[in-house]
Amino acid sequence: MTRYEARPIEPTALKELRATDDGGRPCVPYPATEAGDPLRCCLRGAEPGERVALVSYAPLRRWAAAHWAKPGAYDEQGPVFIHAEDCGGPAEREGYPFSRTGALRVLRRYSAEGRIVGGRLLEIPADEEHGFDTAFAEAFADPEVALVHVRAVEYGCFQFEVRRG
């Protein structure tokens, strides 16, 4: 089965978010007090003491601008955790980020125009990687799907993006 690439927030976008977030607010760094906050810059959980920030991020906005798409009302924004300074991005690792058996995820599918063209609820199975691979294969079997956003059901938080090969 094909392995799909979980994409973190792009370095250029991170630089912008570390100054002013997508809601127009300044970035306010602080030391993480607990382990586990999902860092979208390096696709891992934060460690206590790391300097992080909670910023507003519009995950479809920059992709849409680069692809001349017009997502309209689908250009939503929400909170994400990032390192307050450059972290070098994700380390080499196995599996998909922020994945744990039994957790619920929504895989929201977008067209090349930036419009939602479907979605799927995924309860992450014991074989986490196979569960995600199957769900992404199902999504990209539709030729209209250009990218998929993975979100946590509990808070609707953006987790990561996967693009068509």
pLDDT at 144: 97
For 114-150, the pLDDT digits (tens) are 999 999 999 999 999 999 999 999 999 999 999 999 9
pLDDT at 94: 82
pTM (2 d.p.):
0.92
Average pLDDT on 59-68 reads: 92
Determine the distance from the C-alpha atom of residue 109 to the mean position of all C-alpha atoms in its chain, rounded to a whole number.
13
Which tokens go with 51?
């300097």
pLDDT at 165: 79
pLDDT at 25: 97
pLDDT at 155: 84
